Amino acid sequence: MKKRKLDICVISDAHLGTYACYADELLTYLSSIEPSTLILNGDMIDIWKFKTSYFPASHLNVIKKIVSMASQGTKVYYIKGNHDHIKGSSLGIDLGNITFCSKLILNLNGKKTWFFHGDIFDVRFLPVKWLAKLGSTGYDIVLGVNKIVNWFLKMNKKEKFSLSGKINREPKNTAKQVANFENKVISLALSRDYDCVVCGHIHKPKKQMVESSQGNLLYLNSGDWVDHMTALEYSFKRWKLYRHKNDKLSPFFVDEALKNIDMNELTNTMEAKKVS
């Protein structure tokens, strides 16, 4: 089956290395598209969880797929998130077609578009690392339990249930925090004369046109791959919010070649292309 060609694909908050990550679904999605540019907008690999030594083959296959896409010509931007812990000295470095950065600004059809993860606006992530990790771990546990519950529901042919989504929807303070985050991002983007802002971090996929006295702005959030399984796609000069649960075609895409991929070989191929 022919892959969908895209100008840009944006994914974020996959949290590879955690039990909550839907790695198989993410791999299926990546295998169904052929983007000219792939933007990884933060928290793709959860370094905070690396000490637990949990990193199954399905998670590694996602990384292999991304490297494979880069080796085949896709330009990949890896934007730093709060769980990535990419050192400042690594930002701006190019590894073949992969560039590590803290933000990205592109001109898309005359629209000045700002890409960044968004954690700098979230008061829940405090400088005290152990406190921030406690909150992350708690959310991770909720999502892990949710996956077990959904497995039983699937076995009994019942509809899936989003426990984390229910938690996020009900408390008034959580809704207020999300609104505050979005308002801060929108306000700053407008003050800097951006036409579009693309972020992640809060795991809330969204596409919203904002009209204000300061001007108009398109606010986009790529969501996550631990609950919503969403991405942003740009083609034909417009943005679309992709939802995996609504995709009837992507399950038919299987990347068998990944099983025999050698990471060192792929890296060497990219480096060779860079030198040439």
248 pLDDT band (50/70/90 cuts)? confident
Contact 101, 81 (CB under 8 A): no
Domain ranges within the chain, ordered by starting residue: 4-118+195-275
Task: Work out the average pLDDT over 196-200.
Answer: 97
- Give the pLDDT confidence score for residue 173 in this predicted structure: 47
DSSP string for residues in the chain: -PPEEEEEEEE----BTSTT--HHHHHHHHHTEEEEEEEEES-SB-GGGGGGT---HHHHHHHHHHHHHHHTT-EEEEE--TTT---GGGTT-EETTEEEES-EEEEETTEEEEE---GGG-TTS-S-HHHHHHHHHHHHHHHHHHHHHHHHHHHTT-----HHHHHHHS-HHHHHHHHHHHHHHHHHHHHTT-SEEEE-SS---EEEEEEETTEEEEEEE---TTTT-EEEEEETTEEEEEEGGG-SSGGG---GGGGG--HHHHHHHHHHHHH-
% of the chain exceeding 70 in pLDDT? 64
Name the pTM for this structure: 0.75
Partnered with residue 215 across adjacent β-strands are: 212
Cα-only R_g, the chain? 18
Angstrom distance (rounded) from CA 130 to CA 163: 25
Task: Work out the average pLDDT over 71-77.
Answer: 95
- Give the pLDDT confidence score for residue 89 in this predicted structure: 44
- Give the pLDDT confidence score for residue 79 in this predicted structure: 93
- The topology under which CATH files domain 4-118+195-275 is Purple Acid Phosphatase; chain A, domain 2 (3.60.21)
Task: Work out the average pLDDT over 100-112.
Answer: 95
Tens digits of per-residue pLDDT, 122-181? 545 333 344 344 444 444 555 566 667 666 766 766 655 555 444 444 444 478 888 888
